[in-house]
Amino acid sequence: ANVYTAGFNAQYNGRLSSIIDLKTRDGNSKRLEGKATLTTFGCDLTLHGPLMKEKPADPRTVTFLLNYKGSYIDKVAPVLYPYLDSMGIPYQYGDFYGKVSTKGPDDHMSVFGHHFTDRVSYDDLLTTSWQNNGLGCKLEWGPKGWAFPLIISGTYSDYQANIQEADKRPQDTRYRDLIWHLGSGLLANKTEIKFAIEWSALMTEYSYLNLDKQTVSLTSTNTDFVWYGLVKSTLKNWILEPGINIHWFSSQNYYSFEPRLQVKYNISPTYSLSFATGLYAQDLLSSVSEQDITCLFQGYYSNPEYIQSGYKGKEIGTTIQKSAHGVVGITAFYPNNLKLTAEVFVKDFYRLVNFNRNKVYEDTEQNKAVIEYLKKNFIFENGWSYGLDLLADYQNDDFSFWLGYSLGFSTREDEYSTFTPHFDRRHNINLLINYQPTKKTSIKVRWNLSSGYPFTQNAGLYEEIRLTNGTFLQSMQNGNLSVYYGAYNEGRLPWYHRLDISAYKTLDLSPKVTLELNAGIMNVYNRKNVFYLDRLSGKRLDQLPIMPNAGMVLRF
């Protein structure tokens, strides 16, 4: 897994801010291997090995990899943790991943698929779940003498999520995409050149109940074409990686030209400097509700309609979102296995699209004179994100630690106001410690400290009396309890922090079979970290309390 918080290069497209790149291994081509895990929370089983082994006359191999992960903590929690309230721990997950690969002298092909589900259900207070299904295939063909193989891949994914709260305000979203990729590369005078074309089709669906108790359903379908080129050249102490990404958003007949650049300079064997910059474009947008105190759900939509025609006096002819990144970093590799890294980043989101939380009028002919800011479904915004990342990583034979600190700032601005987005987190510290007193035993400690996310506070509660046939007099029923909202996102949730400790002991059952026994305590000092807050009732749900746990892992 590679995480790019900013400044990613041209091989990644369609995203404004950050990228997570995941790659899965092939199964073992020599023998069957597996890992079976049983803990107080759930079970996990991984199997991989050869379906066809390499032969002297035929070097081709075929391998498989299967993984299943499931939970039963919601069933066993009342027995293992009797101090919990009647709601227990109503979390459920069930994940499956499978992959079959074949590899020969000149080619490598794999077919893979997954099915992931998660669910949380707190009786009538809150139910939320998501599901992700996907299929894909990838072929790499490179005859002898080729510097880079020809890569052809196709993937399909289907993501669905929903949330149902006590106020009967359901929200549902669905995100489906199909992506085809064709790419290769050249090697010229020790300079790598990579290029590819991609075609994608995207369908989004989003439905929610607005403040007027009306169901709003939005659907969109887009097709995009992307061509990118990437060059990597080494000149003495310099590593230069310029790139270009040309993205055609066919739904709006809009071309986006996005130059990218990554540079690394090795000052000495100990110190190196890095720099990255680029332009980025995205047509996908996400939405969270002002009514949510904790963000457990995001709705996804693309190619928005009924949007502002301009922003701050300037006409905008497209709804494609735009940003520019800049990252500068320094890394030090010390002889005693200590690595220190510092990075400063800034991201200018100079064109954003968001759902209009200020809408109070319908966009009709009767409201023609009303400004767009008060009647359009979508509005334009801009904003900045900037901050500092520090990392210390140390390892030796029996001790290692990993300490990271992030300082971040995010601001957004629409036509008439400046505000803090819901994902703004000022401080974040992660500490990981691993101590191995012997080769077969280890003790691990993890501690996280994070400042709270912003949210919109309650300014008051009132009885909402609705008109019946245009008059109050024909209705004798009480109104509904409703919220009068304060200034947007000016509140902050409490700080989050949690300490986990675990110990491990490995036993050799045979030359190829080991049994690992582990025990630990999650949330050692029982910090009450908020999970969910209901605005009307004030009911609060916290994350996991102090939880001793144990498990075993059989590897063969």
What does the pLDDT average to over 96-114? 96
Q: Which two tokens stand for residue 323?
A: 């940003």
- Tens-place pLDDT, residues 42-51: 999 999 999 9
Higher pLDDT, 442 or 478: 442
Closest CA to 444 of 454, 456, 431: 431
Cβ atoms of 507 and 513 within 8 Å: the answer is no
Average pLDDT over residues 266-293: 92
Determine which of 224-228, 230-234, 364-368 has the lowest per-residue pLDDT on average: 364-368
Band of residue 208 on the pLDDT scale cut at 50, 70, 90 = confident
**For residues 48 and 64, is the Cβ–Cβ distance under 8 A?**
yes
On the question of pLDDT at 17 being above 90, the answer is yes
CB atoms within 10 A of CB 310: 12
* Residues ≥6 apart with Cβ < 8 Å to 344: 327, 328, 329, 386, 387, 388
Closest C-alpha among 441, 445, 440 to residue 401 = 445
Confidence at residue 154, expressed as pLDDT on a 0 to 100 scale: 98
Q: Is the pLDDT of residue 200 over 90?
A: yes
Contact by Cβ (8 Å): 502, 444? yes
For all residues of the chain together, what is the average pLDDT?
92
H or E element: which one contains 73?
helix 73-80
Whether residue 298 is predicted with pLDDT greater than 80 in this model: the reply is yes
Q: Does the pLDDT at position 412 exceed 80?
A: yes
Rounded to an integer, what distance in angstroms lies between the CA atom of residue 404 and that of residue 201?
38
Q: Which of 403, 422, 404 is nearest to 412 (CA)?
A: 422
Joined tokens for residue 183: 């790419």
Q: What share of residues in the chain are helix, strand, coil (percent, to 5)?
A: 5, 65, 35
Q: What is the mean pLDDT of residues 62-82?
A: 94
Between 124 and 319, the higher pLDDT residue: 319
Overall average pLDDT of the 193-221 stretch: 86
Name residues whose C-beta falls within 8 Å of residue 57's C-beta, 6 or more positions apart in sequence: none
Helix (H, G, I), strand (E, B) or coil at 556: coil
Max CA distance (Å), the chain: 91
Q: What is the pTM of this model?
A: 0.90
Residue 211 has pLDDT above 70, yes or no: no
Question: Does the pLDDT value for residue 308 go beyond 80?
Answer: yes
Query: Does the structure show a pLDDT above 80 at 429?
Result: yes
- In this predicted structure, what is the pLDDT of residue 471? 55
Residue 259 pLDDT > 90: yes
Residues 6+ apart with CB under 8 A from 293: 455, 456, 493, 532, 533, 535
| 75, pLDDT greater than 70 | yes
Name residue 454's amino acid: P
pLDDT average, residue stretch 17-37:
95
Determine contact, residues 522/547, Cβ cutoff 8 Å. Answer: yes
Residue 352 gets the label, from left (phi > 0), alpha (psi -120 to 50) or beta, of: beta
CA dist 49 and 25 (Å) reads 12
Burial of 472 (0-12, 13-18, 19+ CB in 10 A): exposed
User: What burial letters (b/e) apply to 129-153, b meaning 16+ CB within 10 Å?
Assistant: bbbbbbebebbbebeeeeebbebbb
Closest CA to 506 of 427, 450, 438, 454: 438
Give the span between the Cα atoms of 315 and 435, in whole angstroms.
Answer: 60
Q: What percent of the chain has pLDDT over 90?
A: 75
pLDDT over 80 at 317, yes or no: yes
pLDDT of residue 358: 85
How many whole angstroms separate alpha carbon 136 and alpha carbon 179?
A: 9
> Is residue 57 pLDDT above 90, yes or no?
no
455-495 pLDDT, tens digit per residue, is 999 999 888 776 655 555 555 567 778 888 899 999 999 99
Residue 464 burial by Cβ neighbours in a 10 Å radius (0-12, 13-18, 19+): middle
- Sequential DSSP letters for 383-436: EEEEEEEEEEEEE-SSEEEEEEEEEEEEEEE-SS-EE--TT---EEEEEEEEEE
496-502: average pLDDT: 98
